[in-house]
């Protein structure tokens, strides 16, 4: 009897060891077969740089500011930074009216607008092929005359007198005229004439546009749109030309 009791006493701890061991093995097996908990996904952060922040501009003006086939979204790339800055502030402050641009820029600071202008000024995408003229040869001849020589009898200065012989503009704030659609150019001259587009006084482009007839506008814009970009389409250095008129947006 005593031997039986002793056997029972030995059996109980052995059973406990076996049970706990089996439980441990079961737990280990379950741990091996249970799928691992997925790592918590980290939120993706877009790069914080000017190229990312101007995506609202590139939707219309192209990734590099090259403009689009739509006549109303002109080329920004390579234009003088101060010119671009002037236009951004003109849209923001209502001197130039196009509701999407006015709305987009309403609350942007001068510093931020200048940063945008500098970014697009430094872009250098290729220029598109020029448009094929759709006007008669005598209209193109008139356009070339007005662009390159003006009309002294009307005290109308040539476009090249301010925008440069290659029409690439002049630093710091006179834009290039190559690579733009005829319809866009015509719309802008019409806006200058009507007063729907303004610049800081003295508003020289308004004064020039008032001297142009409808035929003049057609001729000038058709000839400009047909011109290829020069090999080095960058604005000429500041004060390379003595402009014939004082312009409030161009430092003298």
140-191: per-residue pLDDT in tens? Answer: 999 999 999 999 999 999 999 999 999 999 999 999 999 999 999 999 999 9
- Is 134 found in the same domain as 111? no
Q: Range of 243's domain? A: 128-252
Distance CA 64, CA 101 (A): 18
Per residue in 187-238, pLDDT (tens digit) is 999 999 999 998 889 999 999 999 999 999 999 999 999 999 999 999 999 9
Cβ-based neighbour number of residue 139 at 10 Å? 17
Q: Give percent of the chain above pLDDT 70.
A: 81
Domain's final residue, options 93, 126, 159: 126
Q: Does any domain span residue 212?
A: yes
Query: Total domain count for the chain?
Result: 2
CATH number of domain containing 93: 1.10.760.10
- Is 159 found in the same domain as 204? yes
Per residue in 181-195, pLDDT (tens digit) is 999 999 999 999 999
pLDDT at 125 over 80: yes
Q: Does any domain span residue 175?
A: yes
Q: Please report how the helices 110-121 and 81-93 are oriented relative to each other, as an axis angle in degrees rounded to 10.
A: 140
List Cβ neighbours of 200 (8 Å cut-off, separation of 6 or more): 86, 95, 248, 249
Whole-prediction pTM: 0.80
- Is 133 found in the same domain as 121? no
């Amino acid at each position: 009897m005593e031997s039986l009791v002793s056997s029972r006493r030995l059996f109980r701890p052995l059973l406990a060891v076996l049970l706990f061991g089996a439980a441990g093995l079961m737990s280990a097996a379950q741990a091996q077969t249970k799928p691992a908990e997925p790592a918590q996904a980290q939120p993706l952060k877009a790069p914080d740089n000017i190229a990312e922040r101007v995506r609202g501009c590139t939707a219309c003006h192209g990734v590099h500011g090259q403009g689009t086939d739509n006549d109303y979204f002109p080329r920004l790339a390579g234009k003088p930074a101060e010119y671009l800055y002037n236009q951004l502030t003109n849209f923001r402050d209502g001197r130039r009216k196009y509701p999407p641009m006015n709305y987009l820029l309403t609350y942007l600071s001068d510093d931020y607008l200048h940063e945008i202008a500098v970014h697009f000024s430094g872009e250098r995408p290729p220029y598109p092929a020029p448009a094929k003229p759709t006007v008669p040869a005598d209209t193109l001849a008139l356009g070339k005359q007005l662009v390159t020589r003006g009309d002294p009898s009307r005290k109308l200065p040539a476009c090249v007198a301010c925008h440069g012989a290659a029409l690439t503009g002049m630093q710091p704030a006179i834009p290039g005229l190559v690579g733009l659609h005829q319809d866009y150019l015509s719309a802008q001259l019409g806006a200058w004439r009507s007063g729907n587009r303004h610049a800081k006084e003295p508003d020289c482009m308004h004064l020039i546009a008032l001297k142009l007839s409808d035929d003049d506008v057609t001729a000038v814009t058709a000839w400009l749109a047909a011109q290829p970009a020069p090999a080095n389409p960058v604005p000429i250095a500041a004060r390379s030309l003595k402009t014939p008129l004082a312009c409030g947006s161009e430092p003298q």
